[in-house]
Copies of this chain bind each other. A is one copy, B any other.
Amino acid sequence: MSVRAGSSLATAVAEYAADDARGEALGTCYRQVRDATRALAAPLSPEDCVVQSMPDASPVKWHLAHTTWFFETFLLESRLARFRPYHPAYRVLFNSYYQAVGPQHPRPQRGLLSRPGLDEVLAYREHVDRQVLDLLAGQRDDRREIAEIVELGLHHEQQHQELILTDVKHLLAANPLRPAYRPATPITPASTGVPQRWLRFEEGLREIGHPGPGFSFDNERPRHREYVGAFELASHPVTNGEYLTFIEKDGYARPEFWLAEGFGTVCERGWRAPLYWEQRDDAWYVMTLSGVRELVADEPVCHVSFYEAEAFARFSESRLPTEAEWEVAAADAPLDGNFVESGRLHPAPTSSRRHPPQQLFGDVWEWTGSAYRPYPGFAPLHGAFGEYNGKFMANQMVLRGGSCATPRSHIRATYRNFFYPPDRWQFSGIRLARDARS
A residues with CB within 8 A of B: 45-51, 53, 61, 89, 92-93, 97, 99-100, 105, 109, 111-118, 171-172, 174-177, 179, 205, 224-227, 229, 255-256, 258-263, 306-307, 310, 322, 369-371, 373-374, 376-377, 387, 391-395, 421, 435
Contact = CB atoms under 8 A, between A and B. Distances in A.
Given A46-B47, A89-B176, A376-B229, A394 B262 contact: yes
Contact of A373 (B369, B376, B435): B369
A376 B435 contact: yes
A368 to B, nearest CB: 10
Given A229-B225, A371-B371, A391-B260, A47 B205 contact: no
Contacts of A51: 50-51, 111-112, 114
Nearest to A87: B177
B99 A47 contact: no
Contacts of A179: 115
A261 B393 CA distance: 9
Contact of A176 (B105, B227, B395): B105
Given A114-B172, A307-B394, 11 more contacts: A50-B51, A112-B175, A114-B175, A115-B179, A225-B229, A260-B392, A263-B391, A310-B394, A369-B374, A377-B435, A394-B421
A216 to B, nearest CB: 20
Contact of A227 (B114, B225, B307, B369): B225
Nearest to A307: B394
Q: Which of A46, A100, A226, A377 has the largest count of B CB atoms less than 10 A from its CB? A: A46
A61 B51 CA distance: 13
Q: Which of A205, A369, A391 has the largest count of B CB atoms less than 10 A from its CB? A: A391
19 contacts: A45-B115, A46-B46, A47-B117, A48-B114, A48-B115, A51-B51, A89-B176, A97-B260, A114-B172, A224-B229, A226-B227, A227-B227, A229-B376, A258-B391, A261-B394, A261-B395, A263-B391, A322-B376, A376-B435
A42 to B, nearest CB: 15
Contact of A259 (B50, B92, B93, B392): B392
A395 B392 contact: no
A99 B260 CA distance: 10
Contacts of A46: 45-47
Contact of A394 (B48, B97, B259): B259
A286 to B, nearest CB: 19
Contacts of A93: 176-177
Contacts of A172: 114-115
Contacts of A373: 369-371
A421 B420 CA distance: 14
A99 B229 contact: no
A304 B263 CA distance: 29
Contact of A171 (B45, B99, B114): B114
